[in-house]
Chain A
Amino acid sequence: MPGLEPTLTHYLLLAAALLVISLVGIIANRRNVLVLLMAIELVLLSANLNFVAFSAYYNDLSGQVMTMFVLATAAVESAVGLALLILLFRRRGNIAVQTLDVMKG
């Protein structure tokens, strides 16, 4: 078991917990697409935490560069996602996830 001093393990465990929380949020959320987008942001954030932690561990800044790229991608993702959300709202009048079932087979 890891000791009390924060080590790489601690950061990884923290990121894992964050990931699981946000995944559960994605699965369980039935009301609001916006919250889904936020949960996705959290998933990306947990990945970023791993990058930064490993960057510090190996004393290599490449991990931080990757984090920057992920941040940029996440920004684009949220921009497009919000645009789609707006379209969805215009068309249907609400953004509840459980009403989105036109793909039903």
Chain B
Amino acid sequence: MSFSAFLFYVLAAILLASAVRVVSARQPVHAALSLVLAFFTMAALWITLGAEFLGLALVVIYVGAVMVLFLFVLMMLDVRQTDKTPRWRLHLIPALAIGALMLLEIVLLIVDGVKTKTALPESAASMDKPLDNTRELGKLLFEDYLYSLELVGVLLLVGMIAAIVLTHRQSRFAKRQEVSEQIAVTRDDRLRVVSMPAEVEAEDATAHSPDKTGGH
């Protein structure tokens, strides 16, 4: 068994173990940290496959940014896990049964599918890989897939705006115009017409007062 094979098995074992830990950990923090470990091992696996740029990007983006975001949210929300139910419960049985069945099928498919395979020059060492993975990837990305890349950029922008809009909370102290209310205002909201007795000069009032009272 070569070193690369050894490395593969070790990394695969860590990956699976951490994945199991992600879905089964009682504390979300533990799950998140296990996910970080899974990302790390995955990055290592990719590098053994010759995808150095992707592996490093995975570490930088996911471990450095996304997982920190997860942990950040976790801390911010301060979720109290008061659930004391045992880890293995009845509803797990169908889930595990389905999982096992599915794994069995996929394994059979894969083993069947590659039975007729030819040579397998897969390991990173034996691969006749390009000299500079990052440069080649960059060329491909900015030449053949430029349009898709820009679409992905737009997607990221949209996701960012969506996240901001969703979580944005208005400050109670900010002062701003409510344009819709300004437009919807009617005269009755602003203006009150009060009827008042006409102003008359004092002498006239006394002179004509009998007539005026007579009308009542």
Residues in chain A within 8 A of chain B (CB atoms): 1-2, 4-14, 16-32, 34-35, 37-39, 41-42, 45, 48-49, 52-53, 55-57, 59, 61-62, 64-65, 67-69, 71-80, 82-87, 89-90, 94-96
B58 touches A21 (CB 8 A): no
A2 touches B111 (CB 8 A): yes
For A39, give the chain B residue with the smallest CB separation: B23
A42 touches B120 (CB 8 A): no
B-side interface size class = 35 or more
Which residue from A20, A35, A78 sits with its C-beta under 8 Å from B99?
A20
- Note all chain A residues with C-beta closer than 8 A to B38: 42, 45
- Note all chain A residues with C-beta closer than 8 A to B99: 20-21, 23-24, 27
- Note all chain B residues with C-beta closer than 8 A to A86: 73, 76-77, 166-167
* Whole-angstrom CA separation of A56 from B95 in the bound complex: 33
For A90, give the chain B residue with the smallest CB separation: B169
For A14, give the chain B residue with the smallest CB separation: B12
A6 touches B111 (CB 8 A): no
* Whole-angstrom CA separation of A84 from B24 in the bound complex: 23
B83 touches A96 (CB 8 A): yes
B23 touches A13 (CB 8 A): no
- Note all chain B residues with C-beta closer than 8 A to A12: 110, 114
* Whole-angstrom CA separation of A20 from B103 in the bound complex: 6
Taking the closest CB of chain A, its distance from the CB of B205, in whole angstroms, is 67
* Whole-angstrom CA separation of A28 from B32 in the bound complex: 17
Tally A-B pairs: CB < 8 A: 236
- In the assembled complex, B128 has its CB within 8 A of some CB on chain A: yes
Taking the closest CB of chain A, its distance from the CB of B59, in whole angstroms, is 12
Taking the closest CB of chain A, its distance from the CB of B163, in whole angstroms, is 4
The 12 sampled A-B contact pairs (Cβ below 8 Å) are A1-B111, A2-B111, A4-B5, A11-B122, A20-B103, A24-B98, A45-B42, A56-B50, A71-B61, A72-B152, A75-B156, A86-B73
Do A24 and B95 form a contact, CB below 8 Å, given A34-B28, A42-B22? yes
Since A61-B137, A75-B66 are in contact, a sample of 12 more A-B pairs with Cβ atoms closer than 8 Å, ordered by chain A residue number, is A5-B1, A13-B107, A21-B23, A24-B99, A31-B83, A35-B25, A48-B42, A59-B127, A64-B51, A71-B57, A71-B61, A72-B152
Taking the closest CB of chain A, its distance from the CB of B172, in whole angstroms, is 15
Scan B141-157; emit 1 where CB is below 8 A from any A CB, else 0. Answer: 10011001000100110
Do A79 and B159 form a contact, CB below 8 Å, given A4-B1, A73-B152? yes
* Whole-angstrom CA separation of A24 from B96 in the bound complex: 6
Which residue from A25, A68, A95 sits with its C-beta under 8 Å from B22?
A25
Do A35 and B73 form a contact, CB below 8 Å, given A6-B8, A83-B167? no
* Whole-angstrom CA separation of A95 from B82 in the bound complex: 12
B96 touches A35 (CB 8 A): no
- Note all chain B residues with C-beta closer than 8 A to A25: 22-24
* Whole-angstrom CA separation of A89 from B137 in the bound complex: 41
Do A82 and B110 form a contact, CB below 8 Å, given A8-B122, A22-B23, A65-B140? no
